[in-house]
Each structure stands twice: as structure tokens, then as C-alpha cells.
Amino acid sequence: MKLNIYDIVIEPLITEKLSRAAEEASQYGFRVHPQANKKEVKAAVEKIFSVHVESVNTMNVSGKWRRVRHVPGQTVAWKKAIVTLKKGEKIDLTK
């Protein structure tokens, strides 16, 4: 299945830990399509944000058990990618 680059990167993740990583090590987190691989994520981030990516780490985040009105269920599982940029490059996520 061929994915469009705008389908691969769903949204940026903005947390305290990733904000610190962005300042110190030029690492940014993204929620990505579950079927996207590291090469596709790298190409999509480079094309969308016009930066050079050094490495990509991906992980599958499993859904958590929740209960709504005594009915148990799970939240949706998703995939996270941590992208490391070349030294000196930044992505402005406030746009």
C-alpha cells in the first residue's frame, strides 16, 4: 500500500519530555500511520519540513484499558516516531 507523505505524518507530539529533547538534541516526536516504516517517515518529514533527518526511531503504543459506564474497552493503538535532525536544524511546530 503506497501512502501519501501527508498521510504518513498524522500530527506532531508536544509533551514536556519531547520539548526538552527538541531543545537539547534536535529530536521531535510525531504520531504516524501504523503501516509506515522508518524510510517512509524519514522521507515524509524531510519533504514536509525541509530538514535533514539523521535517524528515526519508531514504536507501537498499545491501547489502554478504559471503562465507560461499566463497559470495558480499549483505546486505539497507535504508532509513534522520534525523529533526530542534523545538528543545528529545527522544526517550527507553532505554525
Summarised one tens digit per residue, pLDDT across range 40-91 is 999 999 999 999 999 999 999 999 999 999 999 999 999 999 999 999 999 9
Within a domain: residue 95?
no
For 54, the domain range is 5-85
Please spell the DSSP secondary structure of 46-95, one letter per residue. HHHHT--EEEEEEEEEPPPEEEETTEEEEPPPEEEEEEEEPTT----TT-
Amino acid at 4: N
Task: Give pTM, 2 decimals.
Answer: 0.88
* Location of C-alpha cell 507553532: 94
Give the CATH number, domain containing residue 49. Answer: 3.30.70.330
Residue 94 forms part of a structural domain? no
Q: How far apart are CA 46 and CA 1, in angstroms?
A: 21
pLDDT of residue 4: 92
